[in-house]
Structure 1
Amino acid sequence: MRSALHRVVRTLRGVRWYLRELTDESAYDRYVAHLRAIRPGAPVPTRRAFERMRTQRQEADPRQGFRCC
């Protein structure tokens, strides 16, 4: 019984990881880890500020193409 529960939990964790990667929900977590590794004393932006910076960077890049929304 325990091993079956363990397999279910492991599968659900895998699905959660996959969905976070697919939707790029984990981008903020990766950015924070990178920032702390490179500049430990630097202030970490809020998730909202990070999303704003990322959106502005994407819109400023002409290679991103036309965005309708």
Structure 2
Amino acid sequence: MRSALNHAVRAARGVRWYVRELTDESAYDRYVAHLRAERADADVPSRREFERMRTDRQEADPRQGFRCC
């Protein structure tokens, strides 16, 4: 019984990881980890600020093409 529960938990964690990577939900977590590793004294932006910076950067990049929405 315990083994089956452990397998189910591991499978659920794997699915969660996959979905977060697929949707790029984990980008903020990776950015914060990178920022803390490179510059420990740097201010960490909020999730909202990070998403705004990322969106602005994507819209300013001419390789991204025109986005209407």
The answer to whether the superposition gives a TM-score over 0.5 is yes
Q: What RMSD over aligned residues (CA atoms) do the two structures have, in Å?
A: 0.4
- Structure 1: 4+ residue segments shifted above 4 A: none
- Give the alignment of 1:1-69 within 5 angstroms: 1-69=1-69
* TM-score relative to the length of structure 1: 0.98
* TM-score relative to the length of structure 2: 0.98
1:66 Cα deviation (Å)? 1.5
Unmatched 5+ residue regions in structure 1?
Answer: none
| Identical-residue share of aligned pairs (%) | 81
Structure 1 Cα separation of the partners of residues 13 and 68 of structure 2: 34
Unmatched 5+ residue regions in structure 2?
Answer: none
Query: Across the two proteins, how many residue pairs are aligned to each other?
Result: 69
